[in-house]
A and B are shown apart, each in its own frame.
Chain A
Amino acid sequence: MTFALIGTKLGMTQVYDEDNNLVPVTIIQAGPCPVLQVKTSANDGYDSVQIGYNPKGKSPNKVTRPAKGHATKAGVEHQQKLQEFTIIGDSSEYEPGNVLTVEKFSDIETVDVIAVTKGRGFQGVVKRWNFKGGPASHGSMFHRRGGSYGLCQWPGRVFKNKKMPGHMGNKSRTTQNLKIVKIIPEKNIILLKGSVPGHKNSLVTVRVAKKIRKAS
């Protein structure tokens, strides 16, 4: 089963589970996400569902007319954020105008979370690639540098993907197989064990774990 929701990361805390263990959890407010469009392979070349999400809980004031028309066609309010998830198999359960909520995760154990990581700016190789750097003292004169970057006249260039200083973070990353600890449908809240990428109030996509999808 493929299924995804757009949500907001609210932060982290701890809760006790049934075995009285203190579990670190990330709180995510996911959905409600209305379906705006159902794409079919006959019509669009592939099967997917387009869902929307309003991070602040209400429709934005400024709407372009094409976007407004797209939403009204489905019979829903304009959504600030649109996303698609592909469907494998039967797509008949989704129809434009349906509202998807966290309750759909209730019989699922693990999910993946996709989000943009915290931006860390221009960083050196020690922080960015976990290089060890050199000795601090004894006149080594080699502290946090990356060492040699290449070879000699052959090949006469630096290889691609060489680990060097540069911009770190602010990239989309996926955390896989996060266990669902609790679902609170009244508040559209889902608690996941462990951490997810991004800062507080950042947009996240929660989807059914890819690895259980393959097994079934």
Chain B
Amino acid sequence: MSDSIIEEITKEQLKEGRDHFKVGDGVKVHVRVVEGGKERIQIFAGIVLARKGGGIHETFTVRRIASGVGVERVFPVHSPLIDKVEVDRESVTMRARMYYLRDRIGKEATKVKEKRIHEQRRK
């Protein structure tokens, strides 16, 4: 009984359309940043390493290489501060979590098997 009430309370805060990106995808996360009373949008682009949790607790990790250093950010999926999540390239993954990318150096670090979108279009 109590669990259904908890679900109801959090349901209205869930954002719709936040399940279009998956692990391995190259994404651009548009984050709302308030600076000096002004709001602007900051983009964090990288590869989704993991999606964890469920419901309102769900988070996703994005990794990018910024000036030679790996940077990871964890976002709550349903955060109101996320304006939108753009998917740049879809990928085919053999893993649920892409943690092996952390050990890679150079070009390999951003290499994920891509879904061949143009082939699908030809069909």
Hey, which bits of chain A sit against chain B, CB under 8 A?
8, 10-11, 13-16, 20, 22, 27, 29, 184, 187, 189, 191, 200-201
Hey, which bits of chain B sit against chain A, CB under 8 A?
2-3, 5-6, 9-10, 13, 56-57, 76, 78-81
Mostly, the A contact residues are: strand
Q: How far is the CA of A10 from the CA of B8 in the complex (A)?
A: 13
Q: Which residues of B contact A200 (CB under 8 A)?
A: 2
Q: How far is the CA of A177 from the CA of B13 in the complex (A)?
A: 26
Q: With A10-B6, A22-B76, A27-B2 given, name 9 new contacts (CB 8 A).
A: A10-B2, A11-B6, A13-B6, A14-B10, A15-B10, A16-B13, A20-B80, A27-B6, A187-B5
B5–A10 touching, CB < 8 Å:
yes
B7's nearest neighbour on chain A, judged by CB, is A13
Q: Which residues of B contact A14 (CB under 8 A)?
A: 10, 56-57
Smallest beta-carbon distance B37→chain A, Å: 14
Q: How far is the CA of A16 from the CA of B2 in the complex (A)?
A: 20
Smallest beta-carbon distance B30→chain A, Å: 14
Smallest beta-carbon distance A30→chain B, Å: 13
B13–A189 touching, CB < 8 Å:
no
Q: How far is the CA of A20 from the CA of B39 in the complex (A)?
A: 13
A15–B13 touching, CB < 8 Å:
yes
Q: How far is the CA of A138 from the CA of B117 in the complex (A)?
A: 62
A20–B79 touching, CB < 8 Å:
yes
Interface centre among B6, B9, B10, B13 (most CB of A within 10 A): B9
Q: How far is the CA of A20 from the CA of B6 in the complex (A)?
A: 19
Q: How far is the CA of A8 from the CA of B3 in the complex (A)?
A: 13
A27–B5 touching, CB < 8 Å:
yes
A15–B2 touching, CB < 8 Å:
no
